[in-house]
Homo-oligomer: A and B are copies of this chain.
Amino acid sequence: MSDAFTLDPRLEAESFPLGRLELCEARLFNDARFPWLILVPARAGLVEIIDLDAAGQQRLMMEVALAAGALRSATRCHKLNVAALGNQVRQLHVHVIARFETDAAWPNPVWGRGARVPYAPPAAAQLAQQMRTAMELR
């Protein structure tokens, strides 16, 4: 736990950096089918939410709420999905996903629905900028 935090390589490869919150690195998952944020608490060795101390858990909830509100405002989605799974990437990370009743997986969860569809770069940049502004990320 004294080691420095480093982002999991798979999370890094599959998402774009948005910026840093007090606890988490905020990322935009690179799948144009679903507007999808990932929050990664930037502390080494975390796997479960309950690996965070109580203050860290509370901070995580605040940052999840911030991300969820920003994503809903930007996308006007029908539903938010929030999840910490970690069956494939063990490093603790929280998915915050904007869902639409017309999306490629509705009403099922988004995971395991075939290959990611990477964004066209301008679309990713536009959504990333909206998220940075809404979340007051620098």
The quantity of this chain's copies bound in the complex is 2
Q: Is A7 an interface residue (CB 8 A)?
A: no
Q: How far is the CB of A111 from chain B (nearest CB, A)?
A: 5
Q: Is A76 an interface residue (CB 8 A)?
A: no
| Interface residue SS majority, chain A | mixed
The CA of A58 and the CA of B72, in the complex, are separated in Å by 20
Q: Which A-B residue pairs are the 7 nearest by beta carbons?
A: A83-B83, A87-B107, A61-B61, A82-B84, A81-B85, A50-B68, A108-B112
Contacts of A84 in B (CB 8 A): 80-83
A37-61 vs B: 1/0 string, CB under 8 Å? 0000000000111100010011011
Q: Is A99 an interface residue (CB 8 A)?
A: yes
